[in-house]
Structure 1
C-alpha cells in the first residue's frame, strides 16, 4: 500500500480552516448516505469539531483535500463504545481513556475508489501509535453503508457482529485494529 496521496490530493491533520469542509462531508454522509440526518445524541462532535478533535491533545482529525476542498475525514478520540446502544462487554473491553476510537471515516462519493479512506486510517493509526496511553484502537460501522464492512475487514479484525436484521436500527459490526508495539532500542 502506498502512503502517497493520489495526484491532486493532500492528506494531513485538519486545521481550523478545514472545519467547515469537514463538517460538510460528515453532514452530507448523515443525510445522503445514511438517510438519518443529524442526531444530537450521536453527532455532537460534528457541531463542535474544534472541541472534539482539534483541541484535545489525544484526539485528532485528518482530512483529504482536493483543490483546497475537504473531501474526506477520519477522526480519533479517546473513548470506547457507548453502552448502550452497544453491548456492555464492549465498553469493558474498550474503556474510555485507553481506547482510541476511529470516528467519521467518510469520503465524498465523487472521490471514492482512490484509496483516500485507507490513507486517512493509516494516518490515524500512526497518530495512535505516537500518542502515549492508548492500548486499543476500536471502531464500529453500520453494515447498511455500501462497502464499509468489506473495507474494515481489509484493515481490521472483527470482534463483534451485532446485526439483527432490524433495518430500523443500526446494524453495527465492531472492529479492532492492532496497535503496533514500538521497537525497543538496540542494546549499546
Structure 2
C-alpha cells in the first residue's frame, strides 16, 4: 500500500487524507453511510441495525476504545470505517460466530464504506489498516470481528483476502433469524487478526 504518515495518526493515500474523524466530519460521514445503506443494501436505514449512523458521536467519538476513521479529499469525506468494542452475540448472530469471540475483549469493525466514485483507490484497505492499528494500540482487544452484506459490490471478495470467513448466511441455515421479503439476510461473518 502506498500510504505514508504525514502527521501523527494521519495517512495520505493517493491524495486522500486518512485520519480519525473530528466532530465536524460527522455530518459528511453520516451521509456516506446513509447513501450506502440505501444504494448498496437496497433496504435503506433500519433503526434496529443502523442506529449508530444517526448518533456517530456516542458510538464512535466519545468512547475511549472506539474510533471512526475517514478518508477526505478536498474537504469532502469520501470513505468511512469504524471500530467499536462490541462482541457479537447470538442471536442475532449465529452461535458459531458468538462462541468464537471473548466478551468485552472483541473489537468490531463497522461502516467500512466508500462512495462509488472513490472506489478502487485503496481507501478501504487503508482505512481498515488504520482501524487495526488503533485496535492493536488498545490492551483491551484480543479479537476482531466484522460482518458484511454480500450485496455491497466487492465486499465479500475484499474481506476474504483480509480475514477468515466464519459463517455465510447465504449458504447456511440460520435458525436464529427468519428471512422475510422485506429484510433478506445476505450477511457474511469474518474474523481478522490484530497486527503485532
TM-score where L is the length of structure 2: 0.87
Q: For residues 158 and 2 of structure 1, what CA distance do their matches in structure 2 show?
A: 27
Query: What per-residue deviation string (whole Å, max 9, x for no partner) do you get for residues 6-32 of structure 1?
Result: 333110000001000100000000111
1:136 matched residue in structure 2: 143
1:179 paired with 2:194, answer yes
Deviates more, 1:23-32 or 1:137-146: 137-146
Q: For residues 35 and 166 of structure 2, what CA distance do their matches in structure 1 show?
A: 29
Q: For residues 112 and 150 of structure 2, what CA distance do their matches in structure 1 show?
A: 14
Task: Give the secondary structure class of the aligned counterpart of 1:61.
Answer: strand
Q: For residues 81 and 90 of structure 2, what CA distance do their matches in structure 1 show?
A: 22
Deviates more, 1:24-33 or 1:167-176: 167-176
1:2 matched residue in structure 2: 2
Q: For residues 163 and 98 of structure 2, what CA distance do their matches in structure 1 show?
A: 18
Q: For residues 87 and 158 of structure 1, what CA distance do their matches in structure 2 show?
A: 13
1:22 matched residue in structure 2: 29
Contact kept in structure 2, 1:71 and 1:107, CA below 8 Å:
yes
Offset of 1:174 from its aligned partner?
1.0
Q: For residues 89 and 75 of structure 2, what CA distance do their matches in structure 1 show?
A: 34
2:116 matched residue in structure 1: 109
1:122 matched residue in structure 2: 129
Contact kept in structure 2, 1:78 and 1:96, CA below 8 Å:
no
Q: For residues 125 and 119 of structure 2, what CA distance do their matches in structure 1 show?
A: 11
Task: Give the secondary structure class of the aligned counterpart of 1:93.
Answer: coil
Offset of 1:95 from its aligned partner?
4.0
Offset of 1:142 from its aligned partner?
1.3
Give the aligned CA root-mean-square deviation in angstroms. 1.6
Contact kept in structure 2, 1:164 and 1:171, CA below 8 Å:
no
Richer in strand (by share): 2
Query: What per-residue deviation string (whole Å, max 9, x for no partner) do you get for residues 143-182 of structure 1?
Result: 121110000011112122221496751211111111134x
Unaligned ranges ≥5, structure 2: 5-11, 173-178
